[in-house]
């Protein structure tokens, strides 16, 4: 479980996160949604420690990540996996080497064992026979799957996904969403997905947090969204005529 308590974060005097608190439970897909510039990426990056918060606490299973020394932070970080918006695969490494990278860095396993684990992770994300290709030689959807395989290579307790569907066609986006949800259930991970993709919100949103202008405006599930009378949330979710029509019919 990850708990964020009263997170405040500013850049150059401009407050981006204003007292945001949330609890993310394991075994379910937790979504952070909001418009571009609402602060959701800053929130996600604050959770993983890429941004230091101005005040507030981030607790990983009773361990205060914000106050612990670097040495202990490294241990917590090794329990994290992260999928970035642009996949962020290492260009100079092959697909297999990318997936093996965290194993090479943090385990004492023999090469054969590391390769076996990398191949297992690649199979888990339905990728085979691409081990020796470089990231530039595979499609965007495949790159995302490789990035997921790399993120789960060390069997993380926490999985973070920053806009995993960005740049993907709707069909591939659903495949990625379903894969994230399956893996979350299978390994009982605490998964946090940052998205503004409505298919993801409605498809895998078991626990959703809506951030508006740096504040948490709403919290609930994908079922609750249709019942909510929160104006900002409705303006965001039902921005298109299509979604408005669906809501009216319901």
Partner 1 sequence: MSFLFHIGRYAMFVRQVFGRPVKHRIFFKQVIREMDVLGLSSVGIVVIISFFMGAVITLQTAYNIDLPIIPKYAIGLAARDSIILEFSSTIVSLILAGKVGSHIASEIGTMRVTEQIDVLDVMGINSAGYLVLPKVMALIIIIPFLVIISMGVGIFGGWTAGTTTGVVPSDEYIYGIQYMFVPFYIAYSLIKSVVFAFLITTIAGYWGYYSTGGSLEVGRSSTRAVVISSIQILLFNLILTQLLLA
Residues that bind partner 1 (CB under 8 A): 45, 48-50, 73-75, 77-78, 80, 82, 84-86, 88-91, 102, 104-106, 160
How many helices and strands (H and E) does the chain possess? 10, 10
Instruction: Find the shortest distance in angstroms from Cβ 193 to partner 1.
Output: 15
Please say which residue, 78 or 119, places its beta carbon nearer to partner 1. Answer: 78
Which residue from 167, 195, 141 is spatially nearest to 32, judged by alpha carbons? 195
Q: Measured from the CB of residue 165, what is the shortest distance to partner 1 in angstroms? A: 16
Specify the residue, 25 or 75, whose C-beta has the smaller distance to partner 1: 75
CA dihedral angle for residue 68, residue 69, residue 71, residue 76, rounded to 10 degrees:
20
Contact 89, 137 (CB under 8 A): no
What is the closest distance, in whole angstroms, from the C-beta atom of residue 13 to partner 1 in the complex?
A: 17
> Which residue's CB is nearer to partner 1, number 86 or number 170?
86
Task: Name the residue nearer to partner 1 (CB basis): 89 or 198.
Answer: 89
Smallest separation (angstroms) from partner 1 to the CB of 86: 6
Calpha distance 82→2 (Å, rounded): 15
Which of 37/86 has CB closer to partner 1?
86
In the bound complex, what is the minimum distance in angstroms from residue 83's beta carbon to partner 1?
Answer: 10
What's the CA gap between 127 and 145, in Å, rounded?
A: 8
For residue 178, which phi and psi values (nearest 5 degrees)? -65, -40
CB hemisphere CA count around 58 (13 angstroms): 22
């Amino acid at each position: 479980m990850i708990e964020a308590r009263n997170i405040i974060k500013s850049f150059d005097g401009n407050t981006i996160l204003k007292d945001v608190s949330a609890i993310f439970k394991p075994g379910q897909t937790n979504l952070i949604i909001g418009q571009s510039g609402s602060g959701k990426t800053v929130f996600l990056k604050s959770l993983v420690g890429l941004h230091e918060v101005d005040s507030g606490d981030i607790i990983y299973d009773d361990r205060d990540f914000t106050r612990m020394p670097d040495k202990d932070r490294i241990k917590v970080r090794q329990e994290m996996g992260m999928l970035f918006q642009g996949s962020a695969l290492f260009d100079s490494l092959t697909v297999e080497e990318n997936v093996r990278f965290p194993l090479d860095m943090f385990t004492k396993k023999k090469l054969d064992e590391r390769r076996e684990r990398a191949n297992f992770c690649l199979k888990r994300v339905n990728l085979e026979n691409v081990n020796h290709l470089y990231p530039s030689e595979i499609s965007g959807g495949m790159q995302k799957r490789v990035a997921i395989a790399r993120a789960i290579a060390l069997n993380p307790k926490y999985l973070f996904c920053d806009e995993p569907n960005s740049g993907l066609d709707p069909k591939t986006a659903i495949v990625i969403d379903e894969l994230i949800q399956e893996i979350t259930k299978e390994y009982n991970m605490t998964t946090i997905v940052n998205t503004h993709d409505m298919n993801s919100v409605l498809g895998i949103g078991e626990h959703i947090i809506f951030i508006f202008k740096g504040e948490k405006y709403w919290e609930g599930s994908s079922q609750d969204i249709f019942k909510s009378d929160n104006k900002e949330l409705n303006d965001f979710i039902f921005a298109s005529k299509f979604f408005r029509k669906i809501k009216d019919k319901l």
